[in-house]
Copies of this chain bind each other. A is one copy, B any other.
Amino acid sequence: MNNSYGTLFSITTFGESHGPAIGVIIDGCPAGLDVDEQFIQAELNRRKPGQSKITTQRQEEDAFKILSGVFEGKTTGTPIAIVIENQDQRSKDYSHIAEKFRPSHADFTYEAKYGYRDYRGGGRSSARETAARVAAGAIAKLFLKQAGVEVYAFVSQVGDIKAPHYTTLNLSQTEDNIVRCPDPATAEKMIDLIDQVRLERDTIGGLVTCVIKNTPVGLGEPVFDKLHAELGKAMLSINAVKGFEYGSGFAGITLRGSQHNDEFYAEAGRVRTKTNFSGGVQGGISNGEDIYFNVAFKPVATIMQDQPSVDKHGNETTVSGKGRHDPCVVPRAVPIVEAMAALVLADFMLRANAAKKFNT
């Protein structure tokens, strides 16, 4: 099932950028959970277009309806269907690319794979699909909150501008600025850079860092479904992502084992590590320390410039820069990264629980 993610706490998304609606079915959420609809909307608002001067100006309220699985404000253990209608579609913006392949978009590969496609705004390949993930992720967050687990993502780099290491930041300040970097000075520079890139009718890449706190020990399954392997897949499934690293990540290449190993010690009856190059995961299983990882985003493919390309008949053509798009994807990617992280964690919570009381 290509449009589903998760084993026990699972989601299935549907919908195209310019169709009637997008949405998601969440299957496997435990029963009796209070569904805070205001929180779900607030999460959607963090992702929605038109929220600030550095995002696309497409206007979508992203108002959602819950069609099932919730009774008198609580989950019932049955599938939760959430639908978000598309409003500001302007499909005409896309008639000029019905037969053209936009560079570094999915137009060509969809055409080749399916032979028939909804070209409007990228159809299914549009990042609009991630609104459904954010709605589902909000439910996952409500579930995790009960268990004390907290998920924080923020923008840690735009172009060459980098934020300090997460351990030096106050992660509760992420929402204080429109670029979602909890370091105010860095945030300002990032916003200026994005604004400049936008004026140049260009786009730029960025990095999102995610930190998960208070994870119970024992989440993740050995061998193929390692906790960090699923986090990696979940992140790489987000539009425009090109890389994933956790703990020491790529920097670990140049370290010695004697530097990199995280020494164990005991603290208040818990086994802890002094350093955390492991990123909170050892052998694919959470060890109770902070889980942290980086997600690299490429520059948005749609630029406000003419680009040479070919059409579906193989003829040379030019793709003009039209429509409304983001100059940099990372400010809106923050809630998406959090949503996918929350979904991965919620799923592993249930998976770990399945055998727990039977293990002796």
Contacts and interface: CB of A to CB of B under 8 A. Distances in A.
A226 B237 contact: yes
B32 A105 contact: no
A115 B217 CA distance: 12
B354 A3 contact: no
A355 B226 contact: no
A332 B271 CA distance: 32
A233 B222 contact: no
Contacts of A230: 233
A21 interface: yes
A164 interface: no
A64 interface: no
Contacts of A234: 224, 229
B284 A19 contact: no
A279 to B, nearest CB: 8
Given A5-B224, A117-B71, A264 B310 contact: yes
Contacts of A200: 256
27 contacts: A2-B224, A12-B25, A14-B68, A19-B67, A20-B65, A21-B68, A22-B67, A30-B355, A74-B360, A77-B113, A77-B114, A77-B117, A103-B262, A104-B260, A104-B277, A105-B283, A109-B282, A112-B217, A113-B359, A115-B359, A197-B256, A224-B233, A225-B237, A252-B298, A257-B301, A263-B308, A265-B308
A186 interface: no
B32 A116 contact: yes
A41 interface: no
Contacts of A351: 8, 354
Interface stretch (A47-55, A118-126, A165-173): A118-126
A261 B223 contact: no
Nearest to A221: B2
Contacts of A307: 261, 263
Interface string A96-111: 0000010111101110
Contacts of A223: 2-3, 13, 124, 129, 237
A163 to B, nearest CB: 13
Contact of A265 (B14, B316, B354): B316
A256 B203 contact: yes
Interface string A188-213: 00000000010010111111000000
A287 interface: yes
A228 interface: yes
Contacts of A303: 257-258, 261
A42 interface: no
Interface string A61-93: 000011111010011111111010000000000
B68 A159 contact: no
A247 B224 CA distance: 23
Contacts of A349: 358
Given A27-B1, A68-B14, A104 B261 contact: yes
B242 A236 contact: no
A5 to B, nearest CB: 4
A360 B32 contact: yes
A110 to B, nearest CB: 6
Interface in A225-275: 225-226, 228-230, 232-234, 236-237, 242-250, 252-266, 269, 271, 273
